[in-house]
Amino acid sequence: MEYAKSSVLVSGGAGFIGVNFVRGLLGRREIPRIVVLDALTYAGNGASLDGIDDDRLHFVHGDIRDQALVEKLLREHEAGSIVHFAAESHVDRSISGPDAFVSTNVDGTHAMLKAARSVWLEGTGVDHRFHHVSTDEVYGSLGPGDAPFTEGHQYQPNSPYSASKAASDHLVRAYHHTFGLQVTTTNCSNNYGPYQFPEKLIPLMIVKILGGQPLPIYGDGMQVRDWLFVDDHCRAIEACLERGVAGELYNIGGSNERPNIEIVQKLCEMIDERFGASESLANRFPECPAARGETSMSLLTHVKDRPGHDRRYAIDFRRAEAELGYHPQETFESGFSRTVDWYLENEAWWRGVMDGSYRRWIDSNYASR
């Protein structure tokens, strides 16, 4: 289908990847309308969509588990595609409270699928696409010498988060095979970049370095992730909407495997360099070791490991390269630089989302939009 000719419903469009995706999609002038459906949980921030001056963006404060609402939005806006980001997404939270993960990721995805089936497949049916945004974590953990995950790798989720995402992937697949829903799924590696809530490794470490707080490294810090700058993931999703084959999975990665400890050391180095180059940073962040000319590396602290911690993820994205024309554009250096600079320039955003002040502002400003 030609997805760019009809309205797009983006679930979770006020979260980290969703916001970056929506901002990129608005650059496509031919798209008549982008409807963002987001429950604005702790991870979703309407403020991340602030400053967008475009009548085509329509924000709806609502829950993906509300099937009737999703059906209403699809009909009202004549949406021909869904890009489904909304989820509970943090592994540590899934360990301390798995229920929300099953509810949002499994029941919520199922409600979205039921709504799409009802609106798009009833009667003569309409051309459509349901794109499901999933994760490499569904494949489980690799050993140091194992080949990267291909799309044929067995699903072996280890955390309640990855198990709930795996269940949602299976439902998406089943709605294609059983009912003929035109679905695609991307399984992507760890993302980083602007607007990421500071509970995930990279933004958490940036704000802790700036605040001079201990940097908690789980276990030995030698767990490996394949880091991808968020814009590259968003480009992959767009390519999948345009060229992806219904019913298929596509792995998306960055060819950028690094142990956690190296990531944190790199962030320390970059922040120390920036303090060396700009005196004003020491005034803004006096608690940061670099403000006293010391190294931020002194903050590294090994803490108890995460239970069931996956050791290594690595992605074989040759199918996406061959069939979608996907290739990551950002390097480790350039992506990290952009990210560190964004957090330095957007202190009000991260302080606001962390202390909840944006949430209170959102409740009064966004609820009726």
Binding of ligand TYD by 200 (CB under 6 A): yes
Nearer to ligand NAD, 110 or 291 (CB): 110
Site for ligand NAD (CB under 6 A): how many residues?
29
Nearer to ligand TYD, 67 or 196 (CB): 196
Binding of ligand NAD by 165 (CB under 6 A): yes
Q: How many helices (H) and strands (E) does the chain have?
A: 14, 13
Least distance in angstroms from the C-beta of 124 to ligand NAD:
30
Q: What is the DSSP letter of 185?
A: E
Residue 300, SS3 per DSSP? strand
Binding of ligand TYD by 37 (CB under 6 A): no
238's contact among ligand TYD, ligand NAD, none, with CB below 5 to 8 A by partner kind, is none
Residue 51, sorted as left (phi over 0), alpha (psi -120 to 50) or beta, turns out to be: left
Binding of ligand NAD by 17 (CB under 6 A): yes
Nearer to ligand NAD, 66 or 242 (CB): 66
Nearest Cα to Cα of residue 45 among 369, 368, 356, 364: 356
Query: Which of 328-333's residues contact partners 24+ apart within 8 Å by CB, and which partners?
Result: 328/228, 328/229, 328/232, 328/253, 328/254, 328/255, 328/256, 329/229, 329/231, 329/232, 329/235, 330/229, 330/231, 330/232, 330/254, 331/256, 332/227, 332/256, 332/258, 332/266
The residues annotated as belonging to the active site are 136-137, 161
91's contact among ligand TYD, ligand NAD, none, with CB below 5 to 8 A by partner kind, is ligand TYD
User: How many other C-beta atoms lie within 10 A of the C-beta of residue 25?
Assistant: 21
Q: What is the DSSP string of 169-181?
A: HHHHHHHHHHH--
Least distance in angstroms from the C-beta of 237 to ligand NAD:
9
Tokens standing for 204? Answer: 């958490």
Residue 200, SS3 per DSSP? coil
Binding of ligand TYD by 190 (CB under 6 A): yes
Nearer to ligand TYD, 190 or 256 (CB): 190
Least distance in angstroms from the C-beta of 329 to ligand NAD:
17
Kindly give, in sequence order, each residue whose CB lies less than 8 Å from that of residue 119, ignoring residues fewer than 6 positions away: 71, 74, 75, 126
**Residues 63 to 102 in contact with ligand NAD, rule: CB under 6 A:** 63-65, 85-87, 89
The answer to whether residues 215 and 208 touch, using CB atoms and an 8 Å cutoff, is yes
Binding of ligand NAD by 43 (CB under 6 A): yes
Nearer to ligand NAD, 17 or 324 (CB): 17
Among 22, 25, 35, 39, binds ligand NAD (CB under 6 A): 39
Least distance in angstroms from the C-beta of 278 to ligand NAD:
29
Residue type for position 72: K
Rounded Cα–Cα distance for residues 195 and 228 (Å): 14
Nearest Cα to Cα of residue 58 among 40, 32, 84, 82: 32
Q: Which stretch binds ligand NAD (CB under 6 A): 24-32, 40-48, 318-326, 340-348?
A: 40-48
Binding of ligand NAD by 266 (CB under 6 A): no
Note the residues at the interface with ligand TYD (CB under 6 A). Answer: 90-91, 190, 200-201, 204, 216-218, 223, 225, 260, 306
Interface residues with ligand NAD (CB under 6 A) are: 11-12, 14-18, 38-41, 43-44, 63-65, 85-87, 89, 104, 108, 133, 135, 165, 188, 190-191, 197
